[in-house]
Amino acid sequence: MTYRPCESDTEDDIERIFQNFDEEGKGYISEKDLIDAADELNEQITPAEIREMIHHCDPNGEGKITL
């Protein structure tokens, strides 16, 4: 079973959210993308927290989040 952030989210919802973070259309979300999103939302997130988010969502250890 695939983990979803919210059980009610559809694949379209997840893809749309992903694309909001991947504004350049690279096909992945980078550390910089997360920092930019946090800044835009006025969230105080440390670099360590950003790295932990990526690590949690990056089973291949590539240093980025893919869809």
Which pLDDT tens digit goes with each residue over 11-38? 899 899 899 999 899 999 999 999 999 9
Q: How much is the CA Rg of the chain, to the nearest whole Å?
A: 12
pLDDT at 46: 93
Report the distance separating Cα 21 and Cα 54, nearest Å.
13
Q: If one looks up domain 25-66 in CATH, what number appears? A: 1.10.238.10
**Residue 4 pLDDT greater than 90, yes or no:** no
Q: Contact 31/50 with Cβ under 8 angstroms?
A: yes
pTM score, two decimals? 0.77
